[in-house]
Amino acid sequence: MDRRQFLKFGGFVTVSVASGAGLSACGGSSAAAGSDLPPASGAWKFPQSVASGDPRADSIMLWTRAVPASADNVAAAAGSDSAIRLLVTAVDNSSSLGGAVALSGATVADVTLPLQVKYDNTVRHKLTGLSAGTTYYYQFVAGDSRSNVGHFKTAPAAEADVSQLQFAYMTCQDWSVNHWGAMSSIAGENLDFIVHLGDYIYETVGDSFQLGAVEARHDALALPDGTFKNGTSGAKYATTLADYRYLYKKYRTDSRLQALHERFAFIAIWDDHEFSDDAWQDAQTYDGSFNADGSDLHQSGRRRNANQAWFEYMPADVDFDTASTGFQNIKIYRDFQFGKLMQLVMTDERLYRADHVIPESSVNPATGQALGRLGSRYLVQQDLFNTVEAQKMAGATAIGLEPLATVSMLGTTQRQWWMDKMKAATATWKLWGNEVSLLRMGLNGVDAVATLLALNAVPTIAASIGSTAAAVGGNFPLASAIVAAATAGAAAAVA
């Protein structure tokens, strides 16, 4: 067999090498191989369209999800496994971009791929052997149906002289409250790629901040399972693999997000909401959910479900160990070279980080109540924070542990990897793609009050402070700071 016609089916992710003559389907003894499965027949659809990701000088990760035309767009896949095709060409098909019309021109790849129900009919295929700095068009074919045409650019060669790169970065696209209309503007730009810094989905449905006031075009979300945050009613959070899969499927039915994926390769990492708000490792930190010993509630199974759904639905060229029984079964930190101009280093600040310096379960001596997220993370006096951090590091040193490990957001291994990459990088620009701001929010009370006065908000201040104080255990100074910050635009209620 010619090495350029080798096709590897690694259970879920498949890999092939492009060639001028295209690739014929070939498999081995694996039952997952596309050539071992009956070809899809009849009418199909691609309700989440197509996507590409992790552009390198010689490779790309391509993605789609196909279901029978009669199936619900976001229901779990059902039926039997089958095979679909992937077509890739370097011929200009810009007039067909985003449309379900046949690709024109000679193909560099024509690959048969497995469509497997156990992976919710998602397909992830890595195509290698591509030319650096080149524009390609691609399309999937299932039975009698074609997906929309997608487009991506490979990265320039490592030693190429590159005068400029154009890319956008995105984050925090909650289904209910964020401004999805901006995606239409981004789709009209001439970009090389898009960096997504996490919160691609939000794990909660019906939470207090998810009012639908901004994005009225979206219908209500309904998790297949879900767990109530507070007892037996109200907001729910994603718990099962079906829950997390549903959110990715639902989010990607938005035509504006589809247009971005069709037009540009994404380089993505996650933040907290792909698993749980303000998470660290496998721990959730919802207010009031603490173990008997005061620690956060660890949810290893839920973390693993979140990891798998992200892996299935994001076109990222990362390692995922399906055989691992631990929650750190995926590694998403990685780096990208764009000629001599730029090195992009993407880090994961959730899966390996230590607990928050001041745990949410810490008791406020003035109220006898747990600090929760506001008192432990959002509004902490600088001197207090520095003192607690120093105590934690000193305690670790005293018993022979690495002090930074007690306060690290990267973990020991990733931190060393990050330093090595940055030191070795020779590109003009060294960019760090991370999901958490490097700058701390500073709340200036004088400016906040002045802004309140300018807004003639005095008549409503007392009522706002009173209602906020009830939510923070009767701490009126803290409530006053929250109201001042929120009204003055000095802080965000959701991070």
How far apart, in whole angstroms, are the C-alpha atoms of residue 495 and residue 492? 7
How far apart, in whole angstroms, are the C-alpha atoms of residue 268 and residue 420? 21
| Two tokens, residue 32 | 């997952």
Distance of CA 239 to the CA centre of its chain: 17
Spatial contact of 344 and 331, defined as CB atoms under 8 Å apart: no
Strand (E) or helix (H) holding 468 = helix 458-471
Closest by Cα among 145, 130, 159 to 56: 130
How far apart, in whole angstroms, are the C-alpha atoms of residue 416 and residue 411? 9
Characterize the bridge pairing of strands 319-320 and 145-146. Answer: unpaired
pTM, 2 dp: 0.86
Question: Sign of torsion, CA 310 313 316 318?
Answer: positive
Residue 450 is predicted with a pLDDT of: 55
Residue 446 is predicted with a pLDDT of: 53
Residue 398 is predicted with a pLDDT of: 92
Characterize the bridge pairing of strands 227-230 and 135-142. Answer: unpaired
**β-bridge partners, 196:** 170, 268
Other beta carbons less than 10 A from residue 126's beta carbon: 20
Which DSSP letter does residue 378 get?
I
Spatial contact of 251 and 79, defined as CB atoms under 8 Å apart: no
Closest by Cα among 26, 54, 495 to 277: 495
Spatial contact of 269 and 238, defined as CB atoms under 8 Å apart: no
How far apart, in whole angstroms, are the C-alpha atoms of residue 392 and residue 143? 60
Average pLDDT over all residues of the chain:
86
**β-bridge partners, 123:** 64
How far apart, in whole angstroms, are the C-alpha atoms of residue 73 and residue 85? 20
| Two tokens, residue 281 | 């490792």
Degrees to nearest 5, angle at CA 365 with 361 and 366: 120
Using 50 as the pLDDT threshold, list the residues of the chain that sit under it.
Answer: 1-10, 21-32, 452, 455-458, 487-495
| Domains, the chain, ordered by start | 3-153 (2.60.40.380), 167-353+408-433 (3.60.21.70), 445-488 (no CATH)
How far apart, in whole angstroms, are the C-alpha atoms of residue 471 and residue 49? 43
- Residue-wise pLDDT tens digits, 66-103: 999 999 999 999 999 999 999 999 999 999 999 999 99
Distances (CA, A) of 27 to 41, 125, 138, 414: 20, 14, 22, 36
Spatial contact of 95 and 307, defined as CB atoms under 8 Å apart: no
How far apart, in whole angstroms, are the C-alpha atoms of residue 252 and residue 304? 21
Residue 245 CB contacts under 8 Å (≥ 6 apart), including other chains = 76, 120, 309, 312, 313
How far apart, in whole angstroms, are the C-alpha atoms of residue 98 and residue 38? 28
Residue for token pair 């498949």: 14
How far apart, in whole angstroms, are the C-alpha atoms of residue 169 and residue 75? 30
